[in-house]
Amino acid sequence: MAKTLAQEFTKGLWDEIPPFRLVLGLCPVLAVTKTVENGLGMGMATTFVLLCSNILVSLLRNVIPSKVRIACFIIIIATFVTVVELLMQAYAYPLFLKLGIFIPLIVVNCIVLGRSEAFASKNKIVYSAADGLGIGIGFTLSLAALGGVRELLGSGCLLGKDIMGPSFEPFTFMIEAPGAFVALGLMLCVMNFIGKK
């Protein structure tokens, strides 16, 4: 059954939210979500790449030979990753330094390549743009939520503001690598519990 444009957009906000429903793109989810700021920055960079690559793949879907489609998709994705990396260096340099190697690794993020292969290469431009934007916003919200939980519990702050007060004893485990796994696991549990209701 064909979905409407609104359904293609909104599926990425709950039904197919990448880290929690599709369980994809976990490397940046676990690595850069020590803070909300990092999560938002990485999410917006990925959204830009998703949107632009979905549009271009959809435009070229009848031109790209099927035998080299994956290589072509990777070149398209790498082009937009280079654009976003240069824009971040120019306009958000402190964030660029925090995200480090994970910006170029958007090229091999399975969400971006998966959406190009599974959706954009088979659908029209408008639907591909709605899919890329919806999945990207869902991914951004996921990263920000996970970053918020880890930042709040790990330091007592949120976006640099002290939320928990002076008597709060930070659970620094949450801003370390193992804390990312624990926070993601707990959030996956909550999402699945809510989804079954």
pLDDT of amino acid 79 = 97
pLDDT of amino acid 27 = 85
C-alpha pair distances (Å), 119 with each of 12, 58, 133, 168: 13, 9, 13, 46
What's the domain count of the chain? Answer: 1
Q: Give the whole-angstrom CA distance, residue 98 versus residue 89.
A: 11
Residue 183 has pLDDT above 50, yes or no: yes
More confident residue, 138 or 166: 138
Q: Give the residue-averaged pLDDT of 113-133.
A: 94
Interval 92-121: pLDDT, tens:
999 999 998 999 999 988 899 999 999 999
Q: Which of 38, 34, 194, 22 is nearest to 115 (CA)?
A: 22
* 197 confidence band (pLDDT: 50, 70, 90): low
Which letter, b or e, does each residue of 157-186 get, where b requires 16 or more Cβ atoms within 10 Å of its Cβ?
A: bbeeeeeeeeeeeeeeebbeeebbeebbee
Helix (H) or strand (E) holding 36: helix 36-59
Residue 140 has pLDDT above 50, yes or no: yes
CB atoms within 10 A of CB 83: 13
Q: Which of 40, 83, 31, 76 is nearest to 55 (CA)?
A: 76
Token pair for residue 116?
């190009």
Domain region containing 151: 5-196
Interval 19-72: pLDDT, tens:
888 888 888 888 898 999 999 999 999 999 999 999 999 999 999 999 999 999
* Predicted TM-score (pTM) of this structure: 0.91
pLDDT of amino acid 1 = 42
Q: Give the residue-averaged pLDDT of 130-155.
A: 93
